[in-house]
Amino acid sequence: MVFEKRRPGAVLFDRDGTLIRDVPYNGDPKLVEPMPGAVEALGRLRQADVPVAVVTNQSGVAKGLLSPDDMDQVNARVEELLGPFDAWAICVHDDGDGCTCRKPAPGLVIRAAAVLDVSPRDCVVVGDIGRDMDAARAAGARGILIPTPQTLPVEIEDAPEVAHDLWDAVDRVLNDVAAAVPAASAPWARAMGWSRW
């Protein structure tokens, strides 16, 4: 029997803590540092003709901690280091603004999918915290969590799927490995940090 591998319509990445190191409210392009494996992971998706996008909360703009221009410069640096993205969906609001885009709301996922002309249901959202997974779920997309030391245990337990790193996440996407990591085995995802095994 032949199983057809089903490529996703797009992979939508959280930015901070997923594609680049999380520097809270960063407005300085010089501080942009890719996460391990980011260049390779994106390269594999581009090679496979899977559109890649960024879905990112930037409440520092609403808080007045960085200007929209600072943010644009940081995002330009991200593309310099990681290559071009097919879409960017950015929420510049804060909790309490009542917007429909700030994750865990689904707006960014829906917007990126619309720009890419794919259904949110055919998208995969890759992120490092529960908000990313909740946004994916709310939009009907598949969510893959890549924990960092900042990720809360409950966020790992609640994640629909957990990957060790970006390489593993892309493996899952391209090979359509849908099985979630059992919650009981999740703690090593934190304990092992970034090592590959």
Q: Which does 120 bind (CB under 5 to 8 A by kind): Mg ion, Zn ion, none?
A: none
Alpha-carbon gap, residue 117 to 104, rounded angstroms:
22
Closer residue to Zn ion in complex, CB, 22/94? 94
Min separation Cβ 99 and Zn ion, Å? 3
Interaction site with Mg ion (CB under 5 A): 14, 16-17, 128
By CB under 5 A, residue 101 contacts Zn ion: yes
Q: Which one of 16, 128, 165, 168 is the catalytic residue?
A: 16
Q: Which does 134 bind (CB under 5 to 8 A by kind): Zn ion, Mg ion, none?
A: none
39-47, 74-82, 85-93, 112-120 -> range binding Zn ion (CB under 5 A) = 85-93
3-class secondary-structure state, position 192: coil
* Integer Rg of the chain from CA: 16
69 is catalytic: no
Strand-by-strand arrangement of the 87-91 sheet: 87-91, 52-57, 10-13, 123-127, 142-145
Closer residue to Zn ion in complex, CB, 77/93? 93
Please identify which residue in 23, 65, 99, 118 interacts with Zn ion, judged by CB under 5 A.
Answer: 99
Q: Which one of 14, 70, 128, 165 is the catalytic residue?
A: 14
Which two tokens mark 118?
A: 């794919």
Min separation Cβ 1 and Mg ion, Å? 39
The strand pairing partners of 11, in sequence order, are 52, 124
168 is catalytic: no
Task: Give the closest residue to 126 by CA, choosing from 79, 86, 160.
Answer: 160
Min separation Cβ 79 and Zn ion, Å? 22
Please identify which residue in 15, 77, 93, 111 interacts with Zn ion, judged by CB under 5 A.
Answer: 93
Distances, alpha carbon 54 to alpha carbons 10, 30, 180, in Å = 10, 19, 23
* 149 and 181 Cβ atoms separated by less than 8 Å: no
By CB under 5 A, residue 102 contacts Zn ion: yes
By CB under 5 A, residue 91 contacts Zn ion: yes
Alpha-carbon gap, residue 102 to 58, rounded angstroms:
9
The residues near 22 (Cβ < 8 Å, ≥ 6 apart) are 16, 128, 148, 150
Closer residue to Zn ion in complex, CB, 91/123? 91
Which residues of this chain interact with Zn ion, rule CB under 5 A? 91, 93, 99, 101-102
